[in-house]
Amino acid sequence: MRCIDRTFVKRILPDRDPGGHKGTFGKVLCVGGSVGYTGAPVFASRAAVRTGSGLVFLAVPESIWQVAAVKSDEAMPFPMPDRDGKLHGCWKALSARAEGCDAVLYGCGLGRSPGLDEMMRDVLTLPQPLVLDADGINALAGHMDVLKRRSAVTVLTPHEGEFARIGGDLRRSRIDAAVDFAQTYGVYMVLKGPGTVVAAPDGRYAVNTTGNDGMAKGGSGDVLAGMLVSLLGQGMDAFDACCAAVYLHGLAGDLAAADKGKRGMTPTDLLEQIPYAIKETEQ
């Protein structure tokens, strides 16, 4: 077993090209949000910016686009067709937006609907590295056959409840359950919780060493998902990107706890600490 620690993450983080431009450092697309869940996709897109992406696009239902636009400075939100406050009938427009991107995140605050469940089959055809979080994971339940056939990198970031909904077997250890699922479905599994487990399709696995219970608040997982899609978009190996994201996310949480305390810290505090977590790791 590998422990995900500072020495490992410092070694795998990609160098920044001093002559690079915004197109050099990855273009990513975050897809999510619904009426009542406007914060989740914004947290994810802001985390992607903080983690070093050159360009971050945010696709949200038209019903909440103005809210997302007000909350976004660096990320670029745009409206997608919707129905009843959730994405609907937008696959053609969404796939066109994804074409020029290096990685895609799908699911933060997405909500559930028959149309979204149906669109999951299309989402799984994207050729880019794909991160599935929250309701993006919940929608997988009827499409596990397509997931198995997908050839591009796929990363799932469930908590234990979401993991159980898609067939994860938690009667065994978290490590065994994550490794077995990753190998069965050919995905990279980030099983969140104390000692987050990262598992790869080839049987590799690692356990994170950072983080604290102050991070157990709605929105923290969205921040992690945004960090992960950012690192994938910057060209990192998928296993390394997962390990680096969970370590830096946890370290940002530890820095926030030291500054604000575990009870009062928020996902916004996590966002603010991401640059310091990266800086501390790279020094």
CATH number at 21-282: 3.40.1190.20
Amino acid symbol at 89: G
Identify the helix (H) or strand (E) that includes residue 133.
none
**Can you state the percent helix, strand and coil of the chain, rounding each to 5?**
50, 15, 35
Locate 107 and state its tokens. 């699911």
What local confidence, expressed as pLDDT, does residue 141 receive? 84
What local confidence, expressed as pLDDT, does residue 172 receive? 84
What local confidence, expressed as pLDDT, does residue 143 receive? 84
Cβ-based neighbours of 46, under 8 Å, separated by 6 or more: 72, 74, 75, 226, 271
User: End-to-end alpha-carbon separation of the chain, Å?
Assistant: 25
**The model's pTM:** 0.98
CA distance 77 to 29: 10
The stretches in the chain having pLDDT less than 70 are: none
Cβ-based neighbours of 281, under 8 Å, separated by 6 or more: 6, 9, 10, 13, 247, 248, 251
Strands 86-87 vs 103-106: parallel, antiparallel or unpaired: unpaired
What local confidence, expressed as pLDDT, does residue 1 receive? 77
What local confidence, expressed as pLDDT, does residue 88 receive? 97
CA distance 20 to 35: 38
DSSP SS3 for 55: strand
What local confidence, expressed as pLDDT, does residue 18 receive? 94
What local confidence, expressed as pLDDT, does residue 202 receive? 97
What local confidence, expressed as pLDDT, does residue 188 receive? 98
What local confidence, expressed as pLDDT, does residue 26 receive? 96
CA distance 87 to 84: 8
What local confidence, expressed as pLDDT, does residue 17 receive? 92
What local confidence, expressed as pLDDT, does residue 283 receive? 94
